[in-house]
Amino acid sequence: MGEDEEFKRRKDLTFLQAEGHEPLPQQLKREEVSDGFRAKLLNLFRHYILDYDGDVFGGGFVYDNVIPVFENEWVNRQEKYADELLTGDEFDNRAEIYQSIKKFIVAEDGKDVLDFVQFILREKTLDPNIRKSIKDLFVESNMAYRVYGNPPTLIPLSSEEDAEAVLKSLDTLREAKQKGASTHLKNAAESLRSGNFSDSVRESIHAVESTVKRIAGKDKATLTDGLKVVENATDLHPALKKAFNQLYGYTSDEKGVRHASIDGDEMVDEHLALFMFSTCASFCAYLVNVTRK
């Protein structure tokens, strides 16, 4: 890989992600809240609570009805007394609310932060623009949840079983010294985290190609040729072989997957990239396991 290709791979990643020390993409980490999401969420609340239009002698706060939103959360979700939060005039109360939220978001477990966010999203007096900004933040941060419906509800993109299966698959590949497949899957995870979904699908299918070539002992074998060799050597079911050949054919044809997007018309979304990542990781591990017999 040349310097330009390596730069392109790394430019949207942290060092730890690029070095493969974070094997799972954020979208599979249920109940986890990244530091980046916490910081952006807190910044959003800071503007919502404290932004002021004018000076202390004129003007007013940009957003009205802020105090009731968080007072309701304080009393009804946390079950605390209101006079422990609201101790002064509106300026003091808003400042106290912000500091309380900051302490909570920074220190609490991910599941508690998510519970807090869903409660706030469901507050009827919450400004619609803030509600939309929070909803968008889940997408921008590639969180494991999305906001759906009315009342707003956090829905997971994947199951805990999906994450466990991927981790087991990665362990299997490492144990089998399938370095090529492991590298491609790490790259796929990194692309998922950075929102490059076409790249993620590409890397996922490359992981299958690498595994098949290693098992077949043919470096120049295509996926189709390699699967034929594996089928003859193992108990790989013909229907399963056909399914992966068809899926491979789809990735070759789909705009933005094997080839550059045409006029920005990219058909690969986050759901497809997650599906391909989990499916290809599991299939690689399956191929390794059946050839051990």
Could you read off the pLDDT of 135-172 as tens digits, one per residue?
999 988 888 788 888 888 887 777 667 777 777 888 88
DSSP secondary structure code for residue 83 in this structure = G
pLDDT value of residue 223: 73
**Which pair of structure tokens corresponds to residue 141?**
């941060």
E-assigned strands of 69-143?
none
Cα Rg of the chain, angstroms: 24
- Per residue in 22-49, pLDDT (tens digit) is 556 666 666 678 888 999 999 999 999 9
What distance in Å separates the CA atoms of residue 28 and residue 162, rounded to the nearest whole number? 7
* 182 three-state secondary structure: helix
Contact 195, 214 (CB under 8 A): no
| 36 burial level (CB within 10 Å; 0-12, 13-18, 19+) | middle
Closest alpha carbon to 13 in 32, 36, 29, 33: 36
Contact 93, 160 (CB under 8 A): no
What distance in Å separates the CA atoms of residue 166 and residue 146, rounded to the nearest whole number? 21
Q: Which of 128-132, 152-156, 195-199 has the highest mean pLDDT?
A: 128-132
pLDDT value of residue 132: 93
| 125 burial level (CB within 10 Å; 0-12, 13-18, 19+) | exposed
pLDDT value of residue 264: 41
| Confidence band for 19, pLDDT divided at 50, 70 and 90 | low
pLDDT value of residue 148: 81
Distances (CA, A) of 215 to 87, 219, 233, 246: 69, 10, 10, 20
pTM, whole model, 2 decimals?
0.61
The full set of domains in the chain, from first to last, is 35-156 (no CATH), 159-290 (1.20.120)
Diameter of the chain measured on Cα atoms? 83
What distance in Å separates the CA atoms of residue 169 and residue 166, rounded to the nearest whole number? 5
- Per residue in 202-261, pLDDT (tens digit) is 888 888 888 888 887 877 777 777 777 777 767 767 787 787 777 767 665 555 455 434
Neighbours of 285 (CB within 10 A): 23
Q: Write the single-letter amino acid at 10.
A: R
